[in-house]
Amino acid sequence: MNGLRGLLSFMYIFLRLLLCIIPNRLYEMLRKLLRQGNEYHTREQYISIARSYLKELGTKCFVGSCVMEIGSGNQIETASCLLENGAKQVIVVDPIINPRLSQSGSLVVVEASCFNEEIAHRYARSIDVLVSFQVLEHVRDVPLFMRCVAEVLTPNGIFFARVDVSDHIYHGIKPLMSVLNVPTEVIRCKYLEYSDSFYRRIHPHKRVYMNRCVLPEILQAMDDAGLKWQLQGRYLTHNNVIYPDIVKRVSAKYSQYTQAYWFTLRGSRDEAPPA
Ligand SMILES: C[S@@+](CC[C@H](N)C(=O)[O-])C[C@H]1O[C@@H](n2cnc3c(N)ncnc32)[C@H](O)[C@@H]1O
């Protein structure tokens, strides 16, 4: 097992360094070759993301509601599906979205921006359902993000976020790992084995930023913003794989959740927990 760990660490760092040094244009070309497209997901997958919101929260939640989708990527398929299922209006917020996509009357409003204080003031207390899919792990300032969530929600508003803190390089090498028969647990959160300063050196800074926040930090930010939360997902117990720099950031209150690699958060400003 130690030999396998050593080999994986070597491969991992090699791959990361390789990604750091290849020019952006070559990187984009390879990405297009492998994924055959410029978006994160296909149209069908964006619709299925909307369906998963409808399933998890119940369609009733969306009927007549003002919905905000944060970090949509460059698409409004998810928003359109939520409108078809009764939402009154969907506001889509992402810095990379093309503002021209807000074409279906005023029902889809596109905010080509990060979710920040300016957006939060503009939509204060007006969002019934706020959703995001694989975004929180890319946000630069999670405490600020949570304060903005608390500000935009109506008193009974719901925040729903699917978060994937597994190393995104792992997504690309997953098929290789299964051919090599490597247990996925070994590689999923590998990026947490390195100190912040070392990780900065091997992080390729291509496409999206990755914040390396672990679940307890996110829960703390929700508490600090006055958001009640519920959690579903897969948690592994805290173990010594996580670098001490990261463990130090984590309050003892939530340390049992440290190594979650994906989870769903539901939050609410209301005193009552979300139904
Ligand atoms: C991995 S992509 C996921 C996109 C889409 N939800 C999907 O599943 O295909 C993360 C997205 O979050 C956006 N993002 C990152 N930080 C953000 C922020 N503070 N506010 C809004 N969007 C943000 C990025 O621009 C990127 O499009």
CA distance 58 to 62: 8
Q: Where in the chain is the domain with CATH 3.40.50.150?
A: 43-165+213-268
- From the number of C-beta atoms within 10 Å of its C-beta (0-12, 13-18, 19+), residue 51 rates as middle
Which of the listed residues 43, 75, 138 should we mutate to test ligand 1's pocket, taking the one with most ligand atoms within 8 A of CB?
138
Residue 67 pLDDT class (50, 70, 90 cuts): very high
Q: Which atom of ligand 1 is nearest to the CA of 49?
A: 8
Question: Please, which residues have CB within 8 angstroms of residue 246's CB and are 6 or more apart in sequence?
Answer: 192, 196, 212, 214
Interval 83-140: pLDDT, tens: 999 999 999 999 999 988 886 667 999 999 999 999 999 999 999 999 999 999 999 9
Helix (H, G, I), strand (E, B) or coil at 211: coil
Distance 79 CA to ligand 1 centre (A): 14
Compute the distance from residue 91 Cα to the ligand 1 centre, in Å.
14
Could you give the 3-state DSSP secondary structure of residue 170? helix
Residue 214 has pLDDT above 90, yes or no: no
pLDDT in tens, 182-197: 777 667 788 888 888 8
Nearest CA to ligand 1 atom 14: 71
pTM: 0.88
- H or E segment and range at residue 91: strand 89-93
**What is the second-level CATH architecture of the domain 43-165+213-268?**
3-Layer(aba) Sandwich (3.40)
- Ligand 1, pocket residues at CB < 6 Å: 40-41, 70-73, 93-96, 114-115, 133-135, 138-139, 145, 208
